[in-house]
Amino acid sequence: MMNLHICNPTVRAWLTGLALATLVRAAAPDPASAPDRTPANAPQELFPFLDLFASCLTIVESEYVDEVNPTNVMYNALHGLMRALDPHSEFMEPEATEELKIETEGAFGGIGIELGIRDEYLTVIAPIEGTPAAEAGLMPFDQIVKIGGESARSMSIHEAIKRMRGKPGTDVHITIQRRVQDQRELKDFSLTRAVIKVNSVRDAALIDPTNHIGYVRVTAFDKTTARELQHAIDGLVTQGMWALVLDVRNNGGGLLVEAIKMADMFLESNAVIVSVRSRVLRREQVFRASGEGAQYRMPLVVLVNGASASASEIVTGAIKDNQRGLVIGSKTFGKGSVQTVLPIGNNNCSLRLTTAKYYTPSGVCIHGTGIYPHIDVQLTLDDEIKLIEKRSNAFRKADPAQLTKAERAHYEALRAARDTQLERACDILNALRVLGNGGLARFMETPTAPAAPPAPAVAAPAAATNAPPRDDDASTE
């Protein structure tokens, strides 16, 4: 059936093992598969391509000008296979597989950014506040073109994170490309790695005490985020808060379970929060509000921008589609895919494979689409930079009396910077006080969210095993 003429025993053994593994996996009974799927026939379709691959490998082994290492050739072929699928899928060699295990334990040094791929470039989704990246001035949508002097053009997210991670106190040099007024400029940064500790809920306050409007900013979705948010909101409620502005701008995401818990705080029992869908129906999960724990029913506005991604988009989509609150700002990033780590072979290799995508309650796929706000309020890049710098430790700790004339002018410019998205949110909430709570619906354009797909059973948040491994994990913990 396969006409393999391979001299190297390593290559022959590897391909034989691959073919046998394919046969065993495909022949295994799968009663949950759709009737029209015929897994047992899949190996027959693969054989011609395995033969083609083997023939190519044989020619390379025998005819290439330099001697090649069969293992490296195989690994590079698999890297290319996964890279061709999407930016988030990758083949992990034994060393990378071990590093992934280490990432879930202990602490390590990083620079504090969430990474994604946009326009085929490694792209900063958001710098984490209080980290070396944020303090140095990295911005959302900065494209990383060099790491340590080496081009990052073809690097995977995992490889880039690996290079930026290291012993706390050591330096890493990166070059970014930033678009400024339709022009691109290159900037070099030398960043000192640090152990990243994130306070994910910040700046809780009554920003309009007269009208009792509260504000909370969520910068990430870590294992304590929902609990921290509940504590912050409860504190504002005791101060007489009537309405809430929930700010998830520049929040690159994190843990799925925390996003579900957060949305659960604001939704009616049994409301759909998000569904996770794959090609295989049995893997579909629908997450609903439990109606347990803290339940907040105050008027709500969610602030988003192009750096709101993943878990931020799940919360935003749930609030919007269930008509629970207004969404103000600009379109979100559009990162809504689920990566699962699958072991392969017998030498500790693995695949980080995109196996599913997130869908909002109204059935919109988040990935590549993002969430559109009810009310679009754009900020210029200069405005974004000023507002991020205004929240930095350097600004907060600055003593105007000790600044030079130039520094004082910059300080005053930052202090005068206006957050027009937040201002618009407060204006609308103040208008709602006049219109009454029912006035909120007058701003809504999203139809009532449809019922969830009936097939899968309701999954409890704690049972979610398909939460995507955070792109920022390796560089923020």
Tally of residues, the chain: 477
Residue 35 DSSP class: T
Provide the token pair at 192. Answer: 């000192």
CB-based contact 189:173 (threshold 8 Å) = yes
Please, is 164 exposed, middle or buried when counting C-beta atoms within 10 Å of its C-beta (0-12, 13-18, 19+)? buried
More confidently predicted of 476 and 324: 324
pLDDT at 53: 85
CB-based contact 474:161 (threshold 8 Å) = yes
| Active-site choice (308, 310, 312, 330) | 310
The whole-angstrom separation of Cα 186 and Cα 21 is 47
pLDDT at 16: 47
pLDDT at 283: 66
DSSP bridge partners of 218: 201
| Active-site choice (162, 261, 320, 335) | 335
Count CB atoms within 10 A of the CB of residue 216: 22
Q: What angle do CA 278, 309, 205 make, to 5 degrees?
A: 135
Per DSSP bridges, beta strands 150-151 and 143-147 are antiparallel
Q: What angle do CA 162, 167, 172 make, to 5 degrees?
A: 60
pLDDT at 96: 79
pLDDT at 444: 54
Closest residue by Cα to residue 243 from 300, 293, 287? 300
Please, is 382 exposed, middle or buried when counting C-beta atoms within 10 Å of its C-beta (0-12, 13-18, 19+)? exposed
What band does 451 get if pLDDT is binned at 50, 70 and 90?
A: very low
Scored b (16 or more CB within 10 A) or e, 383-405 reads ebbbbbbbbbeeeeebeeeeeee
| Active-site choice (321, 419, 471, 473) | 321
Task: Give the 3-state DSSP-derived string for 310-353, with helices as H, strands as E and coil as C.
Answer: CHHHHHHHHHHHCCCCEEEECCCCCCCEEEEEEEECCCCEEEEE
pLDDT at 55: 87
Q: Please say if 62 is a catalytic residue.
A: no
CB-based contact 366:359 (threshold 8 Å) = yes
Q: What backbone torsions phi and psi does residue 469 show, to the nearest 5 degrees?
A: -65, 120
Q: Please say if 142 is a catalytic residue.
A: no
End-to-end CA distance of the chain: 50
Q: Worst-scoring range by mean pLDDT, 165-169, 229-233, 342-346, 463-467?
A: 463-467
Provide the token pair at 313. Answer: 């988009």
What region does 93 belong to: left with phi over 0, alpha with psi -120 to 50, or beta? Answer: beta
Predicted confidence (pLDDT) at residue 446 exceeds the cutoff of 90: no
Closest residue by Cα to residue 428 from 155, 211, 169? 211
Mean pLDDT of 383-387: 83
CB-based contact 110:474 (threshold 8 Å) = yes
pLDDT at 429: 95
Q: Please say if 473 is a catalytic residue.
A: no
Residue 452 DSSP class: P
Count CB atoms within 10 A of the CB of residue 185: 10
Tens-digit pLDDT profile for residues 243-301: 999 999 999 888 899 999 999 999 999 999 999 998 876 667 899 999 886 789 999 99
Which of 107-111, 200-204, 322-326 holds the top average pLDDT?
A: 322-326
Mean pLDDT of 96-114: 69
What band does 57 get if pLDDT is binned at 50, 70 and 90?
A: confident
More confidently predicted of 151 and 6: 151
The whole-angstrom separation of Cα 193 and Cα 18 is 41
CA distances from 288 to 218, 235, 291, 457 (A): 22, 26, 9, 11
- What three-state secondary structure class fits 208? strand
Looking up tokens 């899928």, which residue turns up? Answer: 89
DSSP-derived secondary structure for 136-173 = HT--TTPEEEEETTEE-TT--HHHHHHHH-BSTT-EEE
- What three-state secondary structure class fits 301? strand
Mean pLDDT of 222-242: 94
Average pLDDT, the chain: 79
Q: What is the CA radius of gyration of the chain?
A: 25
- The whole-model pTM stands at 0.70
Q: Worst-scoring range by mean pLDDT, 41-50, 86-95, 293-302?
A: 41-50
Predicted confidence (pLDDT) at residue 191 exceeds the cutoff of 70: yes
Closest residue by Cα to residue 396 from 415, 379, 381? 415
- What three-state secondary structure class fits 31? coil
Tens-digit pLDDT profile for residues 195-208: 877 778 999 999 99
The whole-angstrom separation of Cα 175 and Cα 145 is 6
Predicted confidence (pLDDT) at residue 135 exceeds the cutoff of 60: yes
DSSP-derived secondary structure for 404-440 = -HHHHHHHHHHHT---HHHHHHHHHHHHHHHH-GGGG
Tens-digit pLDDT profile for residues 405-434: 887 888 888 888 899 999 999 999 999 887
pLDDT at 458: 34
pLDDT at 201: 93
